[in-house]
Homo-oligomer: A and B are copies of this chain.
Amino acid sequence: MSATTITPDEFTQLFPRFRLQHELTTQLLAQARRQSFPAGTHLYWEGDSCSGIAFLLSGAIRVYKSGETGREITLYEIGPGETCILNASCILGNKAYPANAVTISGGELIMVPAHDFRRLLGSHETMIDFVFALLSERLGEVMELVNEVAFRRMDERLMEYLIEKSGDGVLMATHQKIASDLGTSREVVSRLLKDLERQGKLSLARNSISLLEDL
């Protein structure tokens, strides 16, 4: 087995939606190119046009917007077993990418050319369902993000972020990275974290934040 192939079994394990569709899986894989990527690879930029749709096998991708002021905000992240739905969106809506994407860890994906993807969509309802469900979920997530950014306080959002992102109560990240996920500035994150430290809720060190109270 060559390193550049993926078996239908491996694939259907990652993408359970396709588990009963051997024909679909086979067709999909026949057209696909498998590629691996290191962390920090920019997959596309806002304004690019696109030529295929990516199915993520391993690793993670961050989709984000970048403001003129230099600040950034993460729209959502893509994990194994998901497709980079913005590809589909671009292909089917015939538009440029509305956001940027960068890999946040190394991993692998398979790339299906736009034309083949379109053909599969027309002939397999499973594929329609899969893509629609993912697109709908993203739309809902981004709508919820609008709500967060427009109405919620930064200290609450930061606290939730820390709890969500810290595996065992410790998060390894710079304040700048946190700020770029939340859509605020590094200074604000530093200030709020310092306040939380003074309140005894966490302890700070270079590149690491340890939650103290088990909230």
Interface of A toward B, CB cutoff 8 Å? 65, 67-69, 71, 73, 75, 86, 88-90, 92-95, 98-99, 121-122, 125, 128-129, 131-133, 135-140, 142-147, 149-152, 183
Contact = CB atoms under 8 A, between A and B. Distances in A.
Most chain B CB within 10 A, of A121, A128, A137, A139, is at A139
A135 B88 CA distance: 11
A123 to B, nearest CB: 9
Contacts of A95: 136-137, 140
Contacts of A137: 93, 95
Contacts of A88: 132, 136
A92 B151 contact: no
Nearest to A69: B151
A151 B133 CA distance: 29
Copies of this polypeptide in the complex: 2
Contacts of A138: 139
Nearest to A118: B125
Contact of A151 (B68, B129, B142): B68
B92 A136 contact: yes
Contacts of A149: 146, 149-150
Given A98-B143, A142-B146, A147-B65, A128 B121 contact: yes
Contact of A183 (B90, B135, B142, B150): B150
Contacts of A147: 65, 67, 73
Contacts of A89: 132, 135-136, 139-140
Given A88-B132, A98-B144, 18 more contacts: A65-B143, A71-B150, A73-B147, A89-B135, A89-B139, A90-B136, A92-B128, A92-B133, A93-B137, A98-B143, A122-B125, A128-B128, A135-B136, A135-B139, A138-B139, A139-B142, A142-B146, A151-B183
A133 B133 CA distance: 15
Contacts of A67: 147, 150-152
A90 B140 CA distance: 10
A44 to B, nearest CB: 14
